[in-house]
Structure 1
Amino acid sequence: MPETEKKQLLHLVFGGELSSLEGVQFKDLSNLDIVGIFPDYASALTAWRSKAQQTVDNAEMRYFIVHMHKLLEPEAKGA
């Protein structure tokens, strides 16, 4: 990897309607909204904010950011 190239720290943004506000159980897994995979936390956060704002009127709709880089390389420092 060239010195100027930034290391990819992949993040997944997804969401869906929850069965209850008490936990993280989705009503229908086939209706999950996969927003996308992003190369860094900042761009994932921007996408998450946009989707969360679009669904603010639905209290049961939740979006999440998954740190995929931590799943792919759990032993990596700084992840």
Structure 2
Amino acid sequence: MTETTDKKQLLHLVFGGELSDLTDVQFRDLSALDIVGIFPDYASALTAWKAKAQQTVDNAHMRYFIVHMHRLLDPKATGL
């Protein structure tokens, strides 16, 4: 078995964009969203998120997010 099949995949999406207003999550331009990638676990998603957040630290309106895709794919699952 490979590493990806040995443990359950808990997919995470990392993406970001420039916000219109710092008090709400409304993106200034949806066509300019930065899709960083989909990752097999939270740890690798967090590493990617940190790297992108650090690259854009000078832009206060730029925000990156981690979406727990595995929760969207299986909303009945608990404890993940």
TM-score norm. by structure 2 comes to 0.92
Gaps of 5+ in 1: none
Alignment of 1:55-74 (within 5 A): 55-74=56-75
In structure 2, C-alpha distance between the alignment counterparts of 1:78 and 1:39, rounded to whole Å:
17
Deviation at 1:78, TM superposition (A): 2.3
Deviation at 1:33, TM superposition (A): 0.0
In structure 1, C-alpha distance between the alignment counterparts of 2:56 and 2:75, rounded to whole Å:
32
Deviation at 1:77, TM superposition (A): 2.6
- Look up the match of 2:45: 44
In structure 1, C-alpha distance between the alignment counterparts of 2:66 and 2:8, rounded to whole Å:
18
Q: What amino acid maps onto 1:29 in structure 2?
A: L
| Identity percentage of aligned residues | 81
Gaps of 5+ in 2: none
Q: What amino acid maps onto 1:40 in structure 2?
A: D
| Alignment deviations for residues 4-33 of structure 1 (CA, whole Å, 9 cap, x no partner) | 701000000000000000100000000000
1:10 aligns with 2:14: no
Counterpart of 2:36 in 1: which secondary structure?
A: strand
The alignment yields a C-alpha RMSD, in angstroms, of 1.6
Q: What amino acid maps onto 1:55 in structure 2?
A: T
- Look up the match of 1:34: 35
Count of aligned residue pairs for this structure pair: 78
Q: Which has the higher helix share?
A: 2
Counterpart of 1:44 in 2: which secondary structure?
A: helix
